[in-house]
Amino acid sequence: MSSNLPTVAWIGLGIMGSPMSENLVKAGYQVTGYTLEQDKVDRLVAAGGRGAASIAEAVRDADVVITMVPASPQVEAIAYGPDGILENAREGALLIDMSSITPQTSVDLASHAKEKGIRVLDAPVSGGEAGAIEAVLSIMVGGEQTDFDSAKPLLDALGRTIVLCGPHGSGQTVKAANQLIVAVNIQACAEAVVFLEKSGVDLSAALDVLNGGLAGSTVLTRKKENFLKRDFAPGFRIDLHHKDMGIVTDAARNVGAALPVGAVVAQLVASLRAQGDGGLDHSALLRSVERLSGSQV
C-alpha cells in the first residue's frame, strides 16, 4: 500500500457504496468505513479495509471523506451536527459526496463546509450496481477545478467516464438529467417487451436485434435479462428512482424546462411504488405495463 495515497473515510456501504469502497481498497487506498449495519462494515474489513464505530471516528484523520447515502436528508444527517462530518473532519480535507441529491443540497453543503475549511465535490454516479462492481461508473462532478484535479486519480479507481460539469451542484443537475433519460428508456423498453410478447415474437431474439441498432442502449444491455426472466432483484430500487424523478421534475420547474414525457414516467414510477413494488429494481416498470395490458398476475 502506497503511503503517497490519501487516506479515505467512506460513509455509506449500501448496494453501491460497498463495491465502490472495495475497489478503492484494491487500488491500494487505506479505507475506513462506517455505515449503520455492522455486517456491511465487516464486509469492508474482510476486503482489506478498516471499520469505524462512528462517523467522527471514521473521518477524523482522513484526507478524503466519501459519502454514498440514499437522499438529501441522509446527507444532511451525516454532514451536520456535533457528530457529523463537518465538525469532525480535519481542516483541508476533501469531502466527495457521491449520493444523488438535490442540486441545492450540494450547494448548501459546499457553503457550510467552506466555513470549516473543508473542500467539497458533488460527484453522483451512473451505472448501477454492475457499474460499481466493475469500476466502470460514469461520474458527474460539480465543484472547483483544483479539487477535481486532486480527486481524479481516486475517482479513476471507481469509474470510467469522469467529468467536471461545472460549479457546486452541477454534478447533481447532470445526474438528474441522467435519471430522466434512464427512466424514460426503461419505460420504452418495458412497453416494447409487452408489445413483442403479445405479438408472439421470440423476445430474446427481438431484444438482441433491437440492441444492435439505433434502439440499442446501455439500459437494454444491462436490463435485458431482468426483462426476460422477470428478475427484479434490486440493482437500483424503484424507491430511489422515485426520489430522483422528484428531483428532476422539481429542478426543471425551477428553471422553466418542460418535461412532458418525463412527467408521465415520473407518475408511472410513483404508481409502481404505491403498488408496493418500491423495493424492486427499476426494470420492474415492466410490471406496470403488464398490469395495464392485462397480462400481469
- Contact residues for 277 (Cβ-Cβ < 8 A; gap 6+): 232, 238, 284, 287
> What is the b/e burial string over 127-137, where b = at least 16 CB atoms within 10 angstroms of the residue's CB?
bbbebbbebeb
Q: Rounded CA gap, 233 and 173, in Å? A: 28
Q: Which residues pair with 9 in a beta bridge?
A: 32, 65
Q: Rounded CA gap, 129 and 134, in Å? A: 9
Set of cell numbers at residue 278: 418500491
Comparing CA positions, the residue from 80, 246, 81, 83 lying closest to residue 97 is: 80
Is 224 labeled as catalytic in the residue annotation?
no
Comparing CA positions, the residue from 196, 183, 160 lying closest to residue 266 is: 183
CB 143 within 8 A of CB 162: no
Handedness of CA 193, 278, 281, 255 (dihedral sign): positive
Considering the candidates 114, 116, 152, 175, report the single residue annotated as catalytic.
Answer: 175
Residues annotated as catalytic are 175
